[in-house]
Amino acid sequence: MFWYLLNFIRYTLGSLILFPAIILNKRVRKRRRFERTFGPQHLLGREHDYWFHVSSEGELEQVFPIIHGLIENPLLTDEFLKKPILLIFTSPSLEKKMEEIQKNHKGIDCMAFPLVNIFPWGKNSIFSLRPPKTFFMVRYDFFPELLSIGQKCEKFILLSASLKNKDKSFKRNHLKKLYYKLIISSFNQVFASGERDRVRISELFCGSIDKHLQAHDFRHGQIIQRQKNQPELRKTHCLDSLEELLKPFSLNERFIFGSIWSNELTIFNEDFIEALLKKEVMIFLAPHKLSGEEWEKFENFILMLKEKGIEATLWDHLGIRGSGNVILCQRPGLLCELYPFFGHSFVGGGHGRSVHSLLEPFWGGGHIYCGPKTHRSTEYDFVDDHSPRHLHIVRELPGLYSNYQLNLEIALDEGARSKSAELVKLNQAKFIEHFSPSGKRP
Q: Mean pLDDT by 10-residue block, N- to C-terminus, for the chain (442 residues)? A: 89 90 90 92 87 90 88 57 83 90 87 93 92 93 95 95 89 91 96 94 94 92 91 94 96 96 96 96 97 96 96 95 95 95 96 93 94 93 89 95 90 73 85 72 53
pLDDT given at position 136: 97
Please state, in angstroms and rounded to a whole number, the distance separating the CA atoms of residues 309 and 305: 7
- Which parts of 340-413 fold into alpha helices (H)? 359-364, 378-386, 400-407
Q: What is the amino acid identity at position 189?
A: Q
With a CB cutoff of 8 Å and minimum separation 6, the contacts of 65 are 218, 221, 222, 225, 428, 432
Residue-level pLDDT at 242: 96
Q: Using only the alpha carbons of the chain, give its radius of gyration.
A: 23
Report pLDDT for 430: 86
Question: What are the angstrom distances between the C-alpha of 250 and each of 72, 259, 268?
Answer: 39, 23, 20
Domain 2-161, CATH class in plain words: alpha beta
Strand ranges across the sheet with 189-192: 108-112, 85-89, 50-54, 134-138, 155-161, 189-192, 213-215
Pick the CATH number of 231-414 from 3.40.50.1820, 3.10.450.40, 3.40.50.2000, 1.20.1250.20: 3.40.50.2000
* Residue 125, pLDDT score: 94
Q: What is the structure's pLDDT at 311? A: 94
Which pLDDT belongs to residue 416? 67
Distance CA 221, CA 424 (A): 7
**Spans of all domains in the chain:** 2-161, 231-414
Q: Which residues of 389-417 are buried (b: 16+ CB within 10 A; e: fewer)?
A: ebbbbbeebeebbebbeebeeeebeeeeb
pLDDT confidence of residue 299:
97
pLDDT score of 129: 94
Q: What is the pTM of this model?
A: 0.89
pLDDT of residue 363: 93
Give the CA dihedral 339, 341, 342, 345, nearest 10 degrees.
-10
What's residue 411's pLDDT? Answer: 73
Q: Matching CATH topology for 2-161 and 231-414?
A: yes
Q: Which pLDDT value is given to residue 267?
A: 96
Please tell me the predicted confidence (pLDDT) of residue 1. Answer: 74
The Cα–Cα gap between 389 and 412 comes to 9
